[in-house]
Structure 1
Amino acid sequence: MIRNATPDDLDAIAALHLDARSTYYRGHVPDAEFAGPEELARTRAGWGRAVERGEVLCAERDGEMAGVAAYGRVDGTMMLTQLHVRPDRWRRGVGAELHAACLDRWRAAGVTGARLEVFEKNERARAFYAAHGWTPDTDAPRSGTHLVLRLTLEPVAE
């Protein structure tokens, strides 16, 4: 089930976020950048702001949070800012369902294109996005250690 996140979800969202990030950042960046109490507090606060804006979707499976996605406009462009799935739920359709729910919302709002940044060394995520139609942004292909990808959305058929 996909639903809007609420403030009551913040602890579960932050824990899922840090668990997922540790799988692709560990060994590539210092642990302090993705783990520990300070990072947990920063992560929870960031997700809290996105939840307040109504820009977070949660995926539930068997009564537990299995994935989370956040999006919003940055400088007029729709951004998929986060998409994380609990590692023990990978390859079970959770990410695809969250992604599709984001696209549905964007299309309903008249969005025709979106961007995201993916950690260059996160090959699993890069393959996921490529399989879902995201392509390299030729205008601005990089942002630090992240690759920038674009997606063109077909308008909703009338």
Structure 2
Amino acid sequence: MPSIRPPRPDDAEAMAWVHNTGWRETYSHILPERFYDDAALERRRQMWRRILAEPGERRLAVADSAGQVVGLAMAGPATADDPDRGTPARELELNVLYVRPGHHGSGAGQALLDAVLGTASAQLWVAEDNARARAFYARNGFHPDGARNDDEEFDGAEVRLVR
């Protein structure tokens, strides 16, 4: 199993790549290419550089296998910065959790989730039709609370899971 550690500033490039690849592999059937193309990768590079420079209240972790970032997770205080999503249901929100496909089933996803959430009550948003992710979160005590976000850009909906 990969080791879990806090990210370093020089991990921004690898984190952006894992994040972008995760979007491509998970959402290419429901989102246009602009969400995971080269321009999206560059936006994610900039985003991770900024976050790693000033993490604030965010909880961050990466999965490292032989010196290579193979997964990442980020959680922070739950906010309702998108009015369509409604009031936060929990104190913490899982914002990002991606593991490279070659490391699915390795325990990296579980270790990353544990690293950024522990046993805290939390919420997250997941594509309604992402059966793999929903099963993973259900094993970790998450269940739908009825909140739903339909987005015109997204061929489907996101549902909020809470624990």
Give the alignment's TM-score, normalised by structure 1: 0.82
Does 2:47 match 1:46? yes
Alignment partners' CA distance in 2, 1:48 and 1:142: 31
The runs of 5 or more residues in structure 1 that have no matched partner are 152-158
| Identity in percent | 34
Does 2:94 match 1:92? no
Q: How far has the Cα of 1:66 moved from its partner?
A: 1.6
Q: Which residue of 2 aligns with 1:70?
A: 74
Q: How far has the Cα of 1:22 moved from its partner?
A: 0.9
Kindly report the root-mean-square deviation, in angstroms, between the aligned alpha carbons of the 2 structures.
1.7
Instruction: Tell whether the 8 Å contact from 1:68 to 1:85 is kept in structure 2 after alignment.
Output: yes
Q: Provide the secondary structure at the position in 1 that maps to 2:126.
A: strand
Instruction: Tell whether the 8 Å contact from 2:78 to 2:123 is kept in structure 1 after alignment.
Output: no
Q: Which residue of 2 aligns with 1:9?
A: 11
Cα gap change, 1:115 to 1:34, in 2 (>3 Å): same
Q: Which residue of 2 aligns with 1:154?
A: none
Instruction: Tell whether the 8 Å contact from 2:20 to 2:41 is kept in structure 1 after alignment.
Output: yes
Does 2:139 match 1:135? no
The runs of 5 or more residues in structure 2 that have no matched partner are 80-87, 151-156
Give the alignment's TM-score, normalised by structure 2: 0.79
Alignment partners' CA distance in 2, 1:66 and 1:117: 22
Q: How does 1:141-152 map to 2 (within 5 A)?
A: 141-144=147-150, 145-151=157-163
Instruction: Tell whether the 8 Å contact from 1:71 to 1:80 is kept in structure 2 after alignment.
Output: yes
Does 2:124 match 1:124? no
